[in-house]
Structure 1
Amino acid sequence: MPSSDSRTPAGPDTQERPGARQFARAAREAGADGLLLLPPYLVRTPAAGLVAYVEAVSAATDLPLIVYRRDNARFGPASAAAVARMPQVTGFKDGIGDLDLLSRVVAAVRGALDGEPFQFFNGLPTAETTVPAYRGIGVELYSSAVFCFVPEISLAFHAAVRDGNDGLVDALLTRFFHPLVALRERVPGYAVALIKAAVRRRGLDVGGVRPPLVDPTPEHLDELDRITEAGLAVCAEAGAPR
């Protein structure tokens, strides 16, 4: 009789364990239009393994994929180019912030695709603070957590960047975004907790965070209110809609 630790791991012909491929199919069945593919949980893998991971998820669904470069999913130029050639992969979202490496990734992908459309996103927390730097290497798209609670500020910043209004960009960075980042960095997990708290402060009850994250302290909530009002004041001074 085999011992209890001699079990054979599930292979391609055995029942599939819950994972990215199963969730990708479930998203398709639920009516999703596309997927943001997060890194494999916990494990560190070689470049070839990361490429195989994206390939396996792509094979499980016909939805377009944007691949999230962050944490342990550190695609380099060669592996990024290999992934970008997959027909269902339409973009990379960068959450690493290594601009030297990202500039080489962008160049490698664009060279591999020979002019075919491909999207690059700045996906850092409070991405507005790094928008000028990312735009310098050709990454103009970004995601904005600020849009969740003060879309007025988010839209005003985006318009200022688009229109070349450097004065408004600098004012919003100085009086709103940089103070928000400084507050965020005081407690691990505030990148999530502050946004949820800010949404609640503006009237939508989305609840608090779950352990191991912690909700902001009363003092930090007061500071968050002051930062938000300062950003809205900049928008008002510039004539942006409030």
Structure 2
Amino acid sequence: MSLWTGVLPAITTPFNADLSIDHGAVRAHVRWLVSQGCTGIIPCGSLGEGATLGLEEKAALMRTCVEAVKAPVIPGIAALGTAEAVRLAKAAEEAGCSGLMVLPPYVYSSDWREMKAHLSAVIRATRLPCLLYNNPVAYRTDFSPAQIAELAADFDNVAAVKESSTDARRVTGIRALLGDRLALGVGVDDCLVEGVSAGASFWVAGLVNAFPAESVRLYELARAGKHDGAFALYRWFLPLLRLDTVTKFVQLIKLVQQEMGWGHERVRPPRLELVGAEREECLRVLREALAHRPAL
């Protein structure tokens, strides 16, 4: 089976009370996600608080995921500097990961010449297939279809794109330029049905951490072209999926997970746990969703 199909959870990173990684919780969580029909696991991404994890912590997290499930593990590869991103890519290959999700550098965002050099160094450092992660909202770097095509022409192991610009037209644009050369994935929770309609073959999802069965079913209905069924489930799911699209998406999704019995709302600073009206509004959205949870 291709790496680039189905629902790929961008997993949260569970922490112990001292904010060390809770590897036992990681194992249980990823096994549950795969048992519910998810096709792979993506640790160390934005939702996984990758920016607050050290290189050795990321490598250990990768190994835990690889050992826990038979499904592909495709970690996020991002760092402040290119040299560390290259080391992380090599650590992922050594850990037995199946592919890499390659991000632009944290903090520094510049022109295409510099961003291409960074991505090329990471891709060149591995034999693993690479998923390019385009998220201009979070990283202030926007890879155009033409730029993605340059990388695909330069490197055979550039295999897929996770499109998180929030614009489903980008999926259409990449397909028009590259045909079937790259697999295309949706990286924004509330753009799944639109993205699949435009040709996306996989979904890197967030709320799947708490609702895997609903996420898998929504993906299946969308891919099968069962528009009425997909829209009915989508309409129910959208208030939850929109929690993935705001600044405090990590805190929101971790709180939902906690309430569903999978994890704890702990986050690493500079993030802080939700309090007051923000927390209550998230719980209200969850209560409303659970009151009308559809049978699958």
Q: Same fold (TM over 0.5)?
A: yes
- Aligned partner of 2:284 in structure 1 is 223
Q: Quick one: distance in 1 between partners of 2:166 and 2:255? A: 26
Does residue 1:43 correspond to 2:108, yes or no? yes
**Largest Rg, 1 or 2:** 1
Structure 1 pair 68/96, CA: closer, same or farther in 2 (3 Å)?
same
Quote the residue 1:8 is aligned against.
none
Residues 66 and 93, structure 1, Cα contact 8 Å, conserved in 2: yes
Deviation string for 1:156-213 (max 9, x for gaps)? 2223223433333222222331x2255566x631x21121112111223344122332
- Match status 1:89 vs 2:158: yes
Per the normalisation by structure 2, the TM-score is: 0.62
CA deviations 1:110-161 (Å, max 9, x no partner) are: 2xxxx54x2111101x2xx322322333223212222211122112222322
CA contact (8 A) 2:163 2:170 kept: no
SS in 2 for 1:225: helix
**Aligned residue among 196, 221, 227 for 1:160:** 221
- Tell whether the 8 Å contact from 1:180 to 1:224 is kept in structure 2 after alignment: yes
- The aligned amino acid for 1:188 is T
Return the offset for 1:35.
0.9
Q: 2:240 aligns with which of 180, 186, 197?
A: 180
Partner of 2:208: 147
In the alignment, structure 2 segments of 5+ residues that lack a partner are 1-80
1:58 corresponds to:
123
- Could you say which residue in structure 2 is the equivalent of 1:201? 259
2:133 partner SS: strand
| Aligned CA-pair RMSD | 2.5
Paired-residue identity, % = 27
What's the offset of the Cα at 1:220?
2.7
Q: Secondary structure at the match of 2:205?
A: coil
Please say if residues 258 and 264 of structure 2, whose CA atoms lie closer than 8 Å, have aligned partners that are also in contact.
yes
Distance in 2 separating the partners of 1:181 and 1:135: 16
Aligned length: 209
Check whether the contact 2:244–2:253 (CA below 8 A) recurs between aligned residues. no
Tell which has more relative contact order, 1 or 2 (C-alpha 8 A, sep 6+).
Answer: 2
Pick which of 71-80 and 82-91 moved more: 71-80
Q: Summarize the alignment of residues 90-129 of structure 1 with structure 2, pairs less than 5 Å apart.
A: 90-110=159-179, 115-116=180-181, 118-124=182-188, 126=189, 129=190
**Counterpart secondary structure, 1:143:** strand
Structure 1 residues 148 and 231: CA distance shift in structure 2, 3 A? farther
Alignment of 1:63-82 (within 5 A): 63-71=128-136, 72-82=140-150
Q: Is the 8 A contact 2:172 2:198 kept in 1?
A: yes
**1:31–1:91: structure 2 CA closer, same or farther, 3 Å change rule?**
same
SS in 1 for 2:161: strand
Distance in 2 separating the partners of 1:230 and 1:141? 29
The residue number in structure 1 matching 2:271 is 213
Deviation at 1:36, TM superposition (A): 0.6
Compared CA separation, residues 184 and 28, structure 1 to 2 (3 A): closer
CA contact under 8 A between 2:171 and 2:195: conserved in structure 1?
A: no
